[in-house]
Amino acid sequence: MIDTHTHLYDSQFDADREAVMTRALQAGVSRMLLPNIDASTVSPMLALCRRYEGVCHPMLGLHPTSVDATFGQQTEYLAQHLNDSRIAAIGETGIDLYRDRQYVGEQIEAFRIHIGWAKQYRLPLVIHCRNAYREITEEIKREQDGTLTGVFHCFPGDVQQAGEVTAMGFMLGIGGVVTYKNADMARVVQCIDIHHILIETDAPYLPPVPHRGKRNESTYLYHIVQAIAALKSMPEEEVIRYTTANAMRTFPKIANNNITDNK
């Protein structure tokens, strides 16, 4: 299994990160993609990827909730790391209008910068979209020249929007929310072809049932596999096989790196 979105460098794992990694590897999670949040998380993220080379893969971006009037200083800092050959994607980036719209202009401008990076370095985009589906898709449609790819992390939309996203060349990130009662994501999984689905935990956030209310970790990825298998009436092994192939296709750099023994 490949966890395409986990914040393993987060301080919530400081006390037992090694144990968390061991559990994940023993549970069959072979690779983990780490999305960046802001300038302060670059160093711990890259350090973890050095520690678990071939297993943990870094992504580079400025989370939209970290965007404010001074976002330019952070994007300038991030840009200094774009030549790092380990960077597997641009993200997480996007637009988040859930709490307020104070910096909506800055968020859109920052998102455009990230799209430019994705094009320049031919890397996939990992998109955070919350209450901003129209704004984000307008930007993608404007910039799509056939080279933009990536994933809508923790896909927030309905079946129609899922179809629009996949038609634009993007994957759907399915996480723990798919296990929640009456989740719209369950209907999306039922209706969208398995070839468009990636699995993710967003650890330490959004843990799946039966761990809801606790800290999430990559070990729980299998609960997401189980939910998708049930919704699509297919064997769990097939879900793993398809989503692993999907991740390799979406993030070519992780397919080119061999897993090494990190003990």
Express each pLDDT in 85-143 by its tens digit.
Answer: 999 999 999 999 998 899 999 999 999 999 999 999 999 999 999 999 999 999 999 99
Residue 259: which pLDDT band, with cuts at 50, 70 and 90?
very low
User: How long is the chain?
Assistant: 263
Average pLDDT, the chain: 95
- The span from the CA of 133 to the CA of 137, in Å, is 6
Query: Computed over its alpha carbons, how large is the radius of gyration of the chain?
Result: 17
What is the average per-residue pLDDT within 70-83?
A: 96
Is 263 inside a domain boundary? no
Closest CA to 85 of 50, 116, 51: 50
Is 200 inside a domain boundary? yes
Residue type present at position 26: Q
Q: CATH number, domain at 165?
A: 3.20.20.140
Residue with tokens 């996203």: 165
What is the average per-residue pLDDT within 197-207?
A: 98
How do strand 197-199 and strand 150-153 relate by DSSP bridges? Answer: unpaired
CB 89 within 8 A of CB 251: yes
- The span from the CA of 18 to the CA of 131, in Å, is 36
Q: Is the pLDDT of residue 257 over 80?
A: no
> Whole domain around residue 69: which residue ranges?
2-256
At CA 200, angle to CA 195 and CA 202, rounded to 5? 150
Cα-flanking dihedrals φ and ψ of residue 172, to 5°?
Answer: -110, 125
Is 262 inside a domain boundary? no
The alpha carbon dihedral of 82, 84, 85, 88 has a sign of: negative
CB 221 within 8 A of CB 199: yes
- In total, how many domains does the chain have? 1
- Enter the tokens of residue 19: 């144990």
Residue 26: which pLDDT band, with cuts at 50, 70 and 90?
very high
- The span from the CA of 42 to the CA of 260, in Å, is 22
Is this structure's pTM higher than 0.85?
yes
CB within 8 A of 219, min separation 6: which ones? 20, 23, 24, 27, 29
Closest CA to 6 of 231, 25, 119, 147: 25
